[in-house]
Structure 1
Amino acid sequence: MSSPVLSGSYDLSSLGWNDSLSAELPAGTVPARVARVDRGAAEVIGADGHLQVHYGARVRRAAAADPVALPCVGDWAALRRLPEGRFELDGLLPRRTAFVRGGVGRTSRGGLSDDSQGQVLAANVDVVFVAEPALHATDTADLGRIERLLALAWESGGQPVVLVTKADLIGEGLDFLMEEVATAAPGVDVHAVCSLTGQGVDIVRGYLGGTRTAVVLGASGAGKSTLVNALAGETVMETQQVRAGDGRGRHTTVHRELIPLPGGGLVIDTPGIRRVGLYDMGEGVDMVFSDIEELAERCRFADCAHDSEPGCAVIEAIEDGTLPERRLTSWNKLQREAAWMASRTDARLRKEQQNRWKVIHKEMRRAGRNRP
């Protein structure tokens, strides 16, 4: 595979390149932004536009140690020119933000489950659009999925926004659905969108512009690619109708892709997400359940578990109808999962440290035997 020499004809500042990133660029390399990834290679947007590059040895070693270090759509990459004239992806610049999900690994040879390993779905994003479809009036939104994606969105460092897509299909039930979704997303903007009629598309576009980057996340059939096409003003991603009978979407988009928009800004389309595991949670879950956190401050006991303790403000809110019981159930579930993931991550890191010390001690013993 050959790559063109980057001559500087493409304005990388339109993709978000700035002086801060320039200061991080290793000597002897040129910048490009990752638009799409494949096994061992990536499509990047460099000074001459799009080109394909393979991963260098440095990147492969880093990714073998930690999958989060794999190049991802939205990353800024350092490309190094090889003697034969082509470029390779030599390293990644520090990420400003990253949307990472957990629980996507397989069993490791060390006996520990790699469920604690993460996968970066999008990097250097300013806005995280969580798309939830309004299919028909008898359906309710998957509020648990929304809460889970919002926890990861808050943790990513991007601004979360919920989009109730296909809003034209629900009719008079839209207002009720919007209120229901709003209860699962305190402090987050919630908008109704219909990409086919144009409803809400300008509102979505308002979050972009300049060099801001957004990622659209959601289940298959949520209308993510249709929305991206509406934002782009042309068909840049293939779309399909949901399956007849079960209303579920097909996986039309099979890869993540960074798309510069004609009016400014960039958007990352993603395949439908089936599994959304939490990863390395800080305050993400607390942000999603800020209503429960505020109520907990009024509980009689500081260590209240919100179960059967006297003076529990959370239980009182459920009893008087101001807090849906479903919210407390979901909060407990995500808190347990976040704690479990933290314990698995700690165990994996301890195991990796033990393995490193074994290698060091082995080398020390070998050096001792070889002394004259």
Structure 2
Amino acid sequence: MKMNTLKEYGLNECFLNEASLYPNLKPARVIAQFKGLYKIATENSECFAEVTGKFRHDTTLVSLFPAVGDYVMVAHSDDHGHAMIHHVLTRKSSFERTAVGVTGQSQVIATNVDVVFLCMSLNNNYNLSRLERYLSIAWSSGSTPVIVLTKSDLCDDLQKKLQEVEGIAAFSDIIVTSALDDTVDEKIFSYLKPGITASFIGSSGVGKSTLINKLMGIDALVTAEIGKNDKGRHTTTGREMLILPNGGIVIDTPGMREIGIESADLSKSFAEIEALEAKCKFRNCTHTSEPGCAIQKALADGLIEKRRLDNYFKIKREAKYDGLSSKEIETSKFEMMFKEVGGMKNARRHLKEQKKQKF
């Protein structure tokens, strides 16, 4: 079986430049994740890896542990034959959700993703509020979201639902597929070039694995249909990365019916509501009963839908941005990113020290 090179897994000059700061270690990419163990691709092979004891001791945030898509710096194998992960290189994008069972922390779903395909079926899984949630998280992640509507052959009113999705899609492209669509791989391949990494996000049973199998040209992943009451079955138990025949890279993820929001970019997913907020008479308007509220006027005039407005406020509260200005939101995001190294000031100091070591 041919091993894929690290370059085929997307390693580029940007990551190589940062990797050069660690001359005694080798770069690798995390291509699969298990409980306490990772599978990585190195320059010449693929092997299992684990983090060093120092990494585990020093890292307090779940989100800063390696995840599928990460480029990491590794050393020789330990007594068990596992490579040892010493550092995670700077992520250019990170798709996260609220960690399950860990208060106040986020869980990374996939990193260094260029395009994220947000999958929703047009039958039992259809849910506009969930799609708005996905879009908000995707834009915040640094990836470019593309909406994939599956099972259009099972949709009772395709035109109506497509118009509804177009109404909330903002800047995102929309792909409509069905089991009868023989051109779906061509539609998705247009976004996937050699070295480009994509992730498929969506509930169980919406057709993510079926789409990836079509792209691969083989049944690389087990598939299952949506069950009764749209509960579905988790057909992928762990995140894994696959290289497509055309050179593109995809990350399959376990099905997620709901995603708790850790960070959201509402400026794109709810652009029209954010624009209205700026027109309110009072800067601290709660958008309930204040005079001169542009949002309440737009709601009364039928310019915005109550369901969408309610979902906007819900996501904003979950993301802990309620009442913050755009500058305060940006500062909050940066502080969370650099919390592990003691905030932005210490992060800048850390980067300066790394540059000194390089020269």
Equivalent position SS for 2:320: helix
Q: CA deviation at 1:321?
A: 2.4
Q: Which of 133, 139, 143 is 1:154 aligned to?
A: 139
> Is residue 2:210 matched to residue 1:226?
yes
Residue 111 of structure 1: aligned partner: none
1:22 corresponds to 2:16: yes
- What pairs up with 1:271-286 in 2 under 5 angstroms? 271-281=254-264, 284-286=265-267
Q: How many residues align?
A: 326
Q: Is the 8 A contact 1:300 1:310 kept in 2?
A: yes
Contact preservation (8 Å) 1:195, 1:230 = no
Residue 227 of structure 1: how far off its partner (Å): 1.0
User: Who is 1:265 aligned against?
Assistant: 248
TM-fit CA distance, 1:134? 0.9
Measured in 2, the distance between the counterparts of 1:88 and 1:140 equals 41
**Equivalent pair of 1:57/1:90 in contact (CA under 8 Å):** no
Aligned residue number for residue 163 of structure 1: 148
Partner SS state of residue 110, structure 2: strand
Aligned runs of 1:192-341 on 2, under 5 Å? 192-194=176-178, 197-243=181-227, 245-281=228-264, 284-339=265-320
Q: TM-score when scaled to structure 2?
A: 0.82
Give the alignment partner of residue 166 of structure 2, picking from 182, 185, 190. Answer: 182
Question: Kindly, what percent of the aligned residue pairs are identical?
Answer: 34
Q: Which amino acid aligns with 2:69?
A: G
Aligned partner of 1:55 in structure 2 is: 51
Q: How does 1:30-109 map to 2 (within 5 A)?
A: 30-63=26-59, 65-82=60-77, 87-106=83-102
Which residue number in structure 1 is paired with residue 347 of structure 2? none
What do residues 151-190 of structure 1 show as CA deviations (whole Å, max 9, x unaligned)? 111111000111111122115x111111112223222222
1:355-370 → structure 2 map (5 Å cutoff)? none
Corresponding position of 1:127: 115
Encode CA deviations 1:56-95: one digit per residue, 9 max, x unaligned: 22332244x1111111100112120147676322221111
- List per-residue Cα deviations over 1:175-232 (Å, max 9, x = no partner): 1111112223222222212255335432222111121111111111111111111111
Maintained 8 Å contact 1:217/1:270:
yes
Higher deviation after alignment, 206-215 or 196-205: 196-205
Q: Which residue of 1 aligns with 2:353?
A: none
The 3 A distance-change label for structure 1 pair 35 and 86 is closer
Whether contact under 8 Å (1:102, 1:118) holds in the other structure is yes
**Structure 1 range deviating more: 84-93 or 315-324:** 84-93
Taking a change above 3 Å as real, the CA distance of residues 201 and 316 of structure 1, as seen in their structure-2 partners, is farther
Distance (Å, rounded) in 1 between the aligned partners of 2:4 and 2:133: 38
Greater CA deviation, 15-24 or 205-214?
Answer: 15-24
Deviation at residue 248 of structure 1 after TM alignment = 3.1
Q: Deviations over 1:224-282 (max 9, x none)?
A: 11111111121111101222x4243211111111111111211111111134111144x
Q: Secondary structure at the match of 1:292?
A: helix
Using the alignment, how far apart are the partners of 1:231 and 1:76 within structure 2?
A: 24
Q: Which amino acid aligns with 1:90?
A: H
Q: Are the equivalent residues in 2 in contact too, given 1:161–1:188 (CA < 8 A)?
A: yes
Can you give the 5+ residue segments of structure 1 that lack an aligned partner in the other structure? 1-8, 107-113, 354-372
Over 6 Å off, 4+ runs: 340-343
Q: What is the letter of the counterpart of residue 13 of structure 2?
A: D
Cα gap change, 1:150 to 1:325, in 2 (>3 Å):
same
Local SS of the residue matching 2:84 = strand
Residues 14 and 266 of structure 1: is their aligned pair in 2 closer, same or farther, counting only changes over 3 Å?
same
3-state DSSP class of the match of 1:27?
Answer: coil
Q: Is the 8 A contact 1:122 1:215 kept in 2?
A: yes
Aligned-pair CA distance for 1:103: 4.3
Distance 1:197 1:303, change over 3 A: same
What residue in structure 1 maps to residue 352 of structure 2?
none
Query: Normalising by the residue count of structure 1, what TM-score does the alignment of the two structures yield?
Result: 0.80
SS at match of 1:217: strand
Query: In structure 2, what residue type is equivalent to 1:67?
Result: V
Tell me the secondary structure at the aligned position of residue 68 of structure 2.
coil
Partner of 2:354: none
